[in-house]
């Protein structure tokens, strides 16, 4: 046996063992290393969810849901704010007195009758007299009533959202807004702020006052 010749028995056995096996590449070796967690940190990472959040038991989830669900505070009023409406402040004050202490749906019906010239809004000043009970002078402000109807409809929606049983218009606040100048600065336009507040009928009752004091005066017989 010469030095150049090698034992053929060992090489043939290795070839037979490797038959049917696919040679592993570098990428597969890297993937296998990644799949096997080596440190404690990697083990903890594997315990987390796919989104990266730690797994939480069902009992803890129920406790968190109970903490998140807080008792809703029942609201007792609903309001609507509108700024810089293009209506007269004087007429809006008259309409605010006309709809105060009324139900929202009744106030809308009354304002719709104003648009049909069946009811007049009582006004103060040099205004002609109108027919109706308890009305001396009144007018039919078309533009202002249209804006007030829109506000009352949104107020009714807010009252339903706040679950008010019998909403009544308790306050109507109207203020004059900044009036911009018209074309060429010859005239100033009309602007006004309006705020309407509706409360439940139970809480809208006026407080009863105490007994009247005599102030030491005696009635003469």
Task: Beginning with the edge strand found earlier in the chain, give each strand of the sheet holding 167-176 in spatial order.
Answer: 77-85, 192-200, 167-176
- Please report the pLDDT score of residue 33 as a whole number: 56
For tokens 């590449």, what's the residue? 25
Give CATH superfamily name and number for 77-200: Ribosomal protein L22/L17 (3.90.470.10)
For residue 181, pLDDT over 80 is answered with: yes
For tokens 């669900």, what's the residue? 69
Query: Tens digit of pLDDT for each residue in 152-166?
Result: 999 999 999 998 989
pTM of the model: 0.61
- Please report the pLDDT score of residue 65 as a whole number: 63
Query: Tens digit of pLDDT for each residue in 91-113?
Result: 999 999 999 999 999 999 999 99
For residue 213, pLDDT over 50 is answered with: no
Q: What is the mean pLDDT of residues 64-78?
A: 72
């Amino acid at each position: 046996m010469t030095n150049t010749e090698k034992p053929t028995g060992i090489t043939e056995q290795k070839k037979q063992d490797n038959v049917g096996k696919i040679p592993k590449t570098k990428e597969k070796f890297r993937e296998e290393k990644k799949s096997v967690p080596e440190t404690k940190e990697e083990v903890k990472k594997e315990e987390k969810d796919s989104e990266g959040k730690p797994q939480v038991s069902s009992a803890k989830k129920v406790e968190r849901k109970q903490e998140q669900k807080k008792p809703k505070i029942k609201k007792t009023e609903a309001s609507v704010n509108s700024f810089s409406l293009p209506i007269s402040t004087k007429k809006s004050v008259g309409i605010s007195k006309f709809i105060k202490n009324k139900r929202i749906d009744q106030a809308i019906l009354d304002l719709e009758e104003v648009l049909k010239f069946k009811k007049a809004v009582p006004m103060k000043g040099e205004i002609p007299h109108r027919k109706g009970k308890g009305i001396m002078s009144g007018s039919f402000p078309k533009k202002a009533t249209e804006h007030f109807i829109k506000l009352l409809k949104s107020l009714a929606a807010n009252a339903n959202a706040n679950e008010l049983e019998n909403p009544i218009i308790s306050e109507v606040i109207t203020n004059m807004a900044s009036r911009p100048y018209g074309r060429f600065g010859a005239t100033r336009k009309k602007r006004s702020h309006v705020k309407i507040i509706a409360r439940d009928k139970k809480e809208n009752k006026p407080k009863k006052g105490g007994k009247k004091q005599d102030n030491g005066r005696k009635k003469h017989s």
